[in-house]
Amino acid sequence: MYNSSTTYKNDILNTINGIHNPTKLFGKRILITGATGLLGGFLVDVLLMLNRYQGYNISVWALGRSRERLESRFISHLSDDNLNFLIQDVTEPIEVDEEFDYIFHFAGDGYPEAFAIRPVETMTPALFGTYHLLRKARKNKECVFLMVSTGEIYGVVSSSKPIKEEEYGYVDIGKTRSCYPSSKRAAETMCAAFGEEYGCNTIIARLSHVYGGCTSNKDNRATAQFLECAAKGEDIILHSAGLQLRSYTYVADAVLGILVTVLSGKNGEAYNVANPKSRVTISEFARVTAEVGGVDCIFDCELDGNSTPISYAVLDTEKIEKLGYVARYSIEAGIRNSLLIQREVGNG
């Protein structure tokens, strides 16, 4: 449905133009979990556009629990023979006979409301989903498994420098809020274990805070709420001081980083995916969104909206930049495109 947006289609083309060695994808069979989500859906559209305009003949398998949601998300591709739907829960064994050349594991809820009310269901896609997908990847020795992880695995760090891939802070494993980073840490270790014991080709993309105009309506992260308000012409209200400092990455840059990682990265390695020029506080993100959207930004701190113990989440990007990754969207450009997309598809 997002292909009705000119802005969205331009973002897809911009991402394609940033891939240095896309020919590795030619004729490949690719499974994408979490295909109706912000990142998974964007990647599906990138691959299908490679087919449409450059004849890549990629066979795309989009995994999701609801056929209705898959058909709605990819309504403009329903007649495409290269798009296949796999309807199941990712926590169940992958029974389809197809052998995949690449598996991208996006599935899972990464927003605070899920952590609070569905902590078990937050953990299972990372734990059981990763296990079943790696078992599937093991059947094809050439298959590359890309685990989409998170900068939250670093936990609370004492340093004020951007966090490198080998640096880890504290995660309180006794807190329910830790369901997300703890399960992602375990999933990364599972990738390492399958690589060591079975020779699986695994690679990790640790994402910073990703935002965009095609976010699920279930997503209650602050950035998603800010964008929704601005798209509707409503004032943005902050219920905390919003002093947490974050690396933010527009979805087009995030998917480009994921593709650079899987196509040029080293087997068994982890790479931070972030925009080094988009490091702002939550309140600054809200202020820029309000400014771009033509609404006001109002502070109402009677309620404390800080649900995370992590006040500093700035990721070092030197490692992925050595692979040739260059983020293309400033914080202003990413927010502007997000609002345009929401308005162009009628969500605003």
| 147-159 confidence digits (pLDDT tens) | 999 999 999 998 7
Q: What's the chain's average pLDDT?
A: 93
Give counts: helices (H), strands (E), the chain. Answer: 12, 13
Residues 6+ away with beta carbon under 8 Å from 331: 248, 275, 277, 278, 280, 285, 288
**pLDDT band at 241; cut points 50, 70, 90:** confident
* Rg of the chain on CA atoms, in Å: 19
In the chain, the number of structural domains is 1
Judge whether 243 lies within some domain.
no
pLDDT more than 70, % of the chain: 96
Does residue 341 form part of some domain?
no
Pairing of strands 29-33, 279-281: unpaired
CATH number at residue 127: 3.40.50.720
Is residue 220 packed enough to be buried (19+ CB in 10 Å), middle (13-18) or exposed (0-12)?
Answer: middle
Alpha carbon distance 145, 137 (integer Å)? 7
Residue 79 lies in a domain: yes
Mean pLDDT of 28-34: 98
107 is a domain residue: yes
Task: Give the CA diameter of the chain.
Answer: 56
Which residue range forms the structural domain that includes residue 46?
2-214+250-274+310-331
Say what the pLDDT of residue 219 is: 74
**What's residue 318's pLDDT?**
98
C-alpha distances (whole Å) from 51 to each of 101, 122, 197 are 16, 34, 36
Residue 302 confidence class, pLDDT cut points 50, 70, 90: low
Q: Would you report the helix, strand and coil content of the chain in percent, each value rounded to 5?
A: 45, 20, 40
Q: Is residue 289 part of a domain?
A: no
Mean pLDDT computed over 192-218: 93
133 vs 88: CA distance, rounded Å: 13
In a domain, 95, yes or no: yes
Band of the pLDDT at 114, cuts 50, 70, 90? confident
The pLDDT of residue 221 is above 80: yes
Q: Which residues pair with 170 in a beta bridge?
A: 156
Domain-located, residue 90: yes
Q: Which stretch of DSSP H or E encloses residue 87? A: strand 83-87
- Distance, CA of 48 to CA of 82 (rounded, Å): 8
Decide: helix, strand or coil at residue 342.
Answer: helix
- In this model, does residue 194 exceed pLDDT 50? yes
Q: Among 126-130, 213-217, 284-288, which is the least confidently predicted range?
A: 213-217
Q: How far apart are CA 181 and CA 217, in angstroms?
A: 22
Q: How many CA atoms lie within 13 A of 284 on its CB side?
A: 12
Domain annotation covers residue 131: yes
